[in-house]
Chain A
């Protein structure tokens, strides 16, 4: 089974008796096995362990799954506070199908969108549909996907590539891992549709080496798809052929950046290359290349089958669709939660997350990973989408949400991120390499109680220079954790400064 994302309640077990709802058991231990078997043999489910029941489920791309009726005393899925505000589009099958079995994916409508695209739509139709959906890249920058596909499609070249960015570099975000491990075929299907639209015959999945199970499942999925003729020559009898290769990352954060990623696939050190030229013109091996994040690809089959207009109704203005967030840190219910874009932070942290651990007050959330910022509790009405998170000094990034309570020092948090980006800077450009090193020194000085007001000014000035003068997105966003904590938690810096004056 894949994973439904309620990590706090793990391990979860699904039970489906004929004609009865699907029952999810939670916090199951080995000791429970006997009780479960005994109950199931008697046509029952162990009530004590039952988290919720699912009577029917809409996998969006296929027919509704009807599990059955009964067990009315077990709460319905939609009544569980953790699930109620969620909307599953990306994780439509996660936890419900066996990710290692292509037949189960096909049974819930898998590959029917590919069939539709190849037999009834022209490449331009596909691109128009994706444009109409308003889908934006889930890798961080939020660039409109349909528009990006159009750039690569336009290029006249006999060889074009598409790449799936599965480097998932944000330490604290793991949604891409779950998407790959729980439903690998939806990524393949999305890429196949994209390749058809763009005119690419080869694709590469770039996966970080820290995810061996994801790599294994995708290898298996590729093998199965090949056996079914879904990869290879003349797929579905159409004039379209496609092959897919897996390339493994090797533990460098900057390789998530698209030009560095391409350098890495080519067997070089992963240092970003100046843009332009953009990958759409000169990408992998110098050929036009379209690169998208894992989660971006997973939305494609749904858009093709349900239509761009349907998709664009989910979420907020200019922010259509859902996003999977990883809710972690000092929060009661940790896990992966998929919500419509523009859902307020408050809903995520309190309704889904149930607030702090043991009722502790939450001070802030950090979103967007090392490129993002800290948002204080007073701003928790902020909708989680590209524009609104940027407006409060953070970013959406890949969807990491790290919750911090009163026990977390914000200066230490800022130092943690600068330590991270300083280490991960590829060293190619001076502002990023030298600037971050200097910021780190000042932050260490601050934490040691030795910094002065002048140091704070230097910190701010350095931030500005690094943001404006760095070569790639790593440096351009690296000062955000410092700037946002200076903006909202200046008092925590000040408390440390006072010691210096004594």
Chain B
């Protein structure tokens, strides 16, 4: 992120209420992650220790410190979606995009990016679209009433091809 743009974002918060999180959220939205350099610059500007910005960035699930893929596929792991089969969606996605985890994390949270950086698969807690459960989101688009069978067709809309990731 250019320093000029960063300044603009900082200046759009005239009062301290909601300021720090708001700035970080805007940076996350525009850059797709929180870059080390940006955090350093911000720490100086806002006069808060860098360590504090780091702990905020790791505490809140909205932020990522690593660059995400060109498209972000998010599986809702909320209750309504869980009951209607979200775990199967997650498994299918991981298999299709060939991004198996090295070990199963205990909490079920995941964020995995394909080797060619085209896709990141991650999980979220409820988009508030529970009536269409189970729900998938690709970038900002919501896909409701999902089934594992429908996933390839959805991915194809975002440039995925059946075989390109074969040896990734």
Residues of A that sit less than 8 Å from B by CB = 7-8, 10, 168-174, 177, 202, 204, 206, 209-212, 245-253, 264-270, 284-285, 326, 328-330, 334-336, 366, 369, 400, 402, 404, 408, 413, 416-417, 419-420, 422-423, 426, 437, 440, 444
- Residues of chain A within 8 A (CB-CB) of B63 are 250
Which A residues touch B81, using CB under 8 A? 171
Is the beta-carbon distance between A247 and B17 smaller than 8 angstroms? yes
Q: Are A246 and B83 in contact (CB under 8 A)?
A: no
Q: Which residues of B contact A251 (CB under 8 A)?
A: 60-62, 124-125
> Which chain B residue shows the least CB distance to A267?
B20
B130 neighbours in A (Cβ, 8 Å)? 172-174, 326, 328, 334
CB distance from A381 to the nearest CB of B (A): 23
Contact check, A252 vs B79: say whether CB atoms are below 8 A apart. no
Q: B83, A402: Cβ atoms under 8 Å?
A: yes
B84 interfacial by beta-carbon distance below 8 Å: yes
Q: What are 24 contact pairs spanning A and B, CB under 8 A?
A: A170-B79, A171-B126, A172-B126, A174-B126, A174-B128, A204-B18, A210-B125, A210-B126, A210-B127, A245-B17, A246-B18, A250-B62, A251-B124, A252-B60, A265-B18, A268-B56, A269-B59, A270-B60, A328-B130, A334-B133, A402-B80, A413-B83, A423-B107, A440-B106
For B127, the closest partner residue in chain A by CB is: A210
> Is B55 in the interface zone, CB < 8 Å from A?
yes
Does B118 interact with chain A (Cβ within 8 Å)? no
Which residues from A are CB-within-8-Å of B83? Answer: 328-330, 402, 404, 408, 413
Residues on B with beta carbons closer than 8 Å to the beta carbon of A426: 59
A335 with B18: in contact, given A171-B77, A366-B79 (CB under 8 Å)? no
- A177 proximity list for chain B (CB < 8 A): 128
Give the most central of A173, A267, A269, A416: most B CB within 10 Å.
A267
**In the complex, what residues of A have CB within 8 A of residue B16's CB?**
266-267, 285
Given the complex of chains A and B, what is the CA–CA distance between A400 and B126 in angstroms? 12
How near does chain B come to A355, taking the closest CB pair, in angstroms? Answer: 16
B10 within 8 A of A: no
B158, chain A: closest CB distance, angstroms? 19
Q: How far is B13's CA from A248's CA once the two chains are assembled, in angstroms?
A: 13
Interface residues of B (CB under 8 A from A): 15-22, 24-25, 48, 52, 55-56, 59-63, 76-84, 106-109, 124-133, 140
Known: A247-B21, A423-B107. A330 touches B131 (CB 8 A): no
Whether B128 pairs with A252 at a CB distance below 8 angstroms is no
Q: A328-B133, A400-B79, A422-B106 are in contact. List 20 more A-B contacts (CB 8 A).
A: A8-B131, A170-B126, A171-B80, A172-B80, A173-B126, A204-B18, A210-B126, A248-B25, A250-B25, A265-B18, A267-B16, A269-B59, A285-B16, A328-B80, A329-B84, A330-B83, A402-B80, A404-B83, A413-B83, A419-B107
B62–A209 touching, CB < 8 Å? yes
List of B residues within 8 angstroms of A266 by Cβ: 16
How far, in angstroms, from A133 to B119 measured CA to CA in the complex? 52
Q: How far is the CA of A419 from the CA of B82 in the complex (A)?
A: 12
**Contact assessment for B125 and A171 in the assembled complex, using a CB-CB cutoff below 8 Å:** yes
Partner of A419, one of B19, B84, B108, B127: B108
With beta carbons under 8 angstroms apart, the residue of B21, B56, B76, B133 that contacts A248 is: B21
Q: How far is the CB of B134 from chain A (nearest CB, A)?
A: 11
3 interchain residue pairs of minimum CB distance: A247-B18, A171-B78, A267-B20
Contacts of B126 in A (CB 8 A): 170-174, 210
B125:A253 contact, CB within 8 angstroms:
yes
Q: Once the chains bind, are A171 and B79 in contact (CB under 8 Å)?
A: yes
- Chain B residue at minimum C-beta to C-beta distance from A329: B83
A373 to chain B, nearest CB (A): 13
Closest to A168 in B: B128
Chain B residues whose CB sits within 8 angstroms of the CB of A169 once the complex forms: 125
Q: Are A210 and B128 touching (Cβ within 8 A)? A: yes
| Chain B residues whose C-beta falls within 8 Å of the C-beta of A212 in the assembled complex | 140
Q: Are B82 and A265 in contact (CB under 8 A)?
A: no
Q: What separation, in Å, do the CA atoms of A444 and B56 have in the docked complex? A: 30
Chain B residues within 8 Å of A408, by CB:
83
Instruction: Please determine whether B15 and A270 come into contact, CB atoms closer than 8 angstroms.
Output: no
Q: Is the CB of A252 within 8 A of B61?
A: yes
* B contact residues around A10 at 8 Å (CB): 131
Contacts of A250 in B (CB 8 A): 21, 24-25, 60-63
Residue of A nearest to B46 (CB): A267
Contact (A7, B80) CB under 8 Å given A204-B18, A267-B16: no
* Assembly CA distance A402 to B17 (angstroms): 35
B24 to A, closest residue via Cβ: A250
Report the minimum CB–CB distance from A369 to chain B (whole Å): 7
Among the interface residues A8, A419, A444, which one has the most CB atoms of the partner chain B within 10 A? A419
Are A416 and B79 in contact, CB atoms less than 8 angstroms apart? yes
Please give the distance in Å from B123's CB to the nearest CB on chain A: 10
- In the complex, the answer to whether B131 meets A402 with C-beta atoms within 8 Å is no
- Which one of B19, B56, B130 has the greatest number of beta carbons of chain A within 10 Å? B130
CA distance A423 to B78 in the complex (A): 13
CB distance from B34 to the nearest CB of A (A): 11
Q: What chain A residues lie within 8 Å of B59 (beta carbons)?
A: 252, 269-270, 426
Contact of A265 among B17, B48, B62 (CB under 8 A): B17
Q: With A and B bound together, what is the CA distance between A250 and B26 in angstroms?
A: 11
Assembled-state Cα–Cα distance A249/B19 (Å): 11
**With contacts A248-B18, A330-B83, A334-B131 known, is A172 near B60, CB below 8 A?**
no
